[in-house]
Chain A
Amino acid sequence: MKFGVVVFPGSNCDQDCLYVTRDVLKQSVKYIWHKDTNLDGLDCVILPGGFSYGDYLRTGAIARFSAVMKSIAGFARKGGTVIGICNGFQILLEAGLLPGVMLRNKGLHFICKHVYIKTENNQTRFTNLYDRGQVLKMPVAHNEGNYYIDAAGLKDLKDNNQIIFRYCSPEGELSGQFNPNGALDNIAGIINKKGNVLGMMPHPERSSEKQLGTEDGCFIFKSIVKWLQMRKA
């Protein structure tokens, strides 16, 4: 499988995403500079975390105008697999590839810590190796992870099973107490209607090795590989 990791000026999880796909998953992977427009031969595009363009103006607001984003929109339209992590999720929202917006964390602080999320939908190319309801331990690290969408939009997300991850207790209980940033309905990750674009605030690339305290995140990448392999077979 061929992964591509987009590099915007200010991306800072690009190298970690490359490391996970190349050294942990043993897949082929390359960087995509934000001015490149050629995504030929790629199976999955990763929009990594960081502070693209310094997150000046608003997170992801400048990055969405990068040349590469037009290609990624086309890639997604054709059914290509796209995953946006943290700042990558914020960019996908700004680019309109996923619905909703990000507000500042309710505590008005940057938050970096391990949290628990519940797998709400395992019938996707990103989550097929998880059980439904499985609780995953992953870190978050963001200033703007307070997901918001209007009532109609939320209904739409629910009706189409687009909410993939929700913040929860270690035992899987959903309540405000375990929501680190105030996100609506404890939403930590969503997919588009077509099911080929995932955005999530927690960092699977930081939770893919036992040495780092949890490998729960690894199965997102492994799910993608499995799905791609099955489709190619």
Chain B
Amino acid sequence: MGKRQLGAQRPIEVAIIGGGCASIAAAFELTRPEHKGAYHVTIYQLGWRLGGKGASGRGPAGRIEEHGLHVWLGCYDNAFQLLRQCHDELKASPKGRKPKGECAENRLRNWDDYFLTDSHIAVAGASSQGGWINWATHFPPAPGMPGDPIDKQNPFALTYYLARAVSLLRTLLLGLEIFRASGETNGGANPNSNQTPTEPADIAARITGLLRVGALASAAIAVEGLALVEAALRSIPKVPESMLLPALEAIASALRKKFEEIVTNDDHVRHQWEIIDLVLANLVGAVRYKLLTDPRGLDAINHLDHREWLRENGASESAVNSPFTRALYDLTMAYEGGDPDRPAIAAGAALRGALRFFFCYRGALFWKMRAGMGDVVFAPFYEVLRRRGATFKFFHRLRNVKLADTSKLAPGEKRYVESLEFDVQAETLESREYRPLIDIKGMRCWPSEPDYRQLKNGAQLQRDGRDFESHWDQRKAKAVKLQVTRDFDFVVLGVGIGALPDVCSEIIAGDPRWRSMVEGVKTVATQAFQIWLSADLQELGWDIPPVTLTSFVKPFDTWADMGQVVPAENWPDPPRTSAYFCNVLADPPRPPLASDIDYPKRRSEEVRNNAIQFLNRDIENLWPKATKVIKTRARGSGSEFRWELLADPKANGATKKQPATGALFDTQFWTANVNPSDRYVLSVPGSAKHRISPLDNTYDNLTIAGDWTDCSLNLGCVEAAMMSGRLAAHAISGLPALEDIIGFDHP
């Protein structure tokens, strides 16, 4: 931005606090050329890097180190729309010049060069013959690309939903492959065995075989139709009992019983029945609760837990506890307090998410990034926003949002934010702008540590072991206070909800809605680890294409193969693949004290131990060749992870290799995401009503942004955060139009 013309209007100053998806989306919208410079945004970020829960860094060998597993979904239309626009803008260099500090390489790539499409998903479940089995399926490609204009190929149109419903059922019922890990040693029947049945149960299984193709699908449709009619008639108050209802109930009951008898011993058919049962229960529930005409849409069932909803609408216990149901909870970290015995997700939010996940994806189900999320998402946004004139203030930790005293308000004037108080964690040398990005193989990236060379007393800060991102490390260089009108006009509060009690105590004390929001909208800590391996998946014993798998054993129930990121790292001797594992992390019995500066370290140690135990004890169910049998005096015979498989980023030809013990795990990466602002947002039953919308105008110079707000999607995910950021921008500027926020008006 150049100097202002004489008499030109001063831009409206917007202070955006936090650098996660929601804040970045708000900044991107407010600085669009269409606004003609009406808004100047300043983003205040603690620590050295943008990203919030999506931040990533580069560690030794330029390896990517993430907060957890961040896979984008093909239904993330808002997120992809903004990201694509950002990358397109980055590619277009103004007047042919490369702006100072930007990497020429970045500008040549298209947005989809940064992604790998993946349509395989797998769920792990217990076999009827003991042990684990994995169901994997390939979802067919869908037309278009995520973020395409809706008019082009509208994934929200009813005809599209219907077509996708058929495709989905076909995929799940007939395209699912069941397999066991090869080379397993725990025995158990092979479900594809050709043994001749002699027992009645086995004869029933043969009959099942006849039903598998064609006839089973027809039967499913018949049962589905009957359940629909049955439920419809139940909803009418005065239909005489002597009419159709008893006949329908008898037919439906007989059909359900028949299927349940058949499916008990056959894993393949059992999963098909569980899927049919789940679909039936949702359809019955939709009719029974009149969801099509209820003005609240799916919010009408948010008081129920998803499993409760299924049971209420006739799903069997087998289906309710199936890996498919569990997968929904695991993928959304839906465990209150991180306790695996307290699964909780609101039925409406779950169904809304599932509808968008299965029916609205474009291109592919999953879009995995070929580098860290910080590299693919936040670095380009940072560069484009800088080009547009945004200002970035790193190392600024928000301390307090202060409201103007009510005595200062004019009649009818709403309450407003009078000042913002920050701790400046570190200052740059000569007050220069902090340059946060580094170059790794031609890509602009965020490092895993700050660049101490740019900081005053940087060497001392490094020796002190400062953790700028830790809630418990409160050390600072100085404090600053921003004043309304002088320093800012509007505030976009984009910090995580976990931080609000500390920074918005005044608002929370005086506003019951904010109180119920911070109490009612729950979050959960998460844990994750990443390993780099010198063998590929096939060598490890995983026989099918790379997948994203969930529903596996706690504490790491979700695994994604991330081999596609290795080329973006800078290994002297690249590993064959990379694997990410994640899950919830249980809260301690009592919350840690604010002064407990060592709390993050203790939790990190806990995650380390969890990961080592997981690799020793459980990984063989996924990768049977990744473990070896060991004999110890104490335990007798057992299995242990083959530690020599791990790639050490600091090893080179000259370095003596470490012995292959559990200590090698210390060369890998793990994280305990326990900072209040980093906690994953849940959608527990009854919590949606506590959320506040970014459009809420109670404080007339403040809006909020984040996946914890009432943003319509109301799930913890990138898409919800981006939608929320767009809503925050609308709250300030009137743009984008609400109709242009994709999926905002969704049942």
Question: Are A and B physically bound partners?
Answer: no
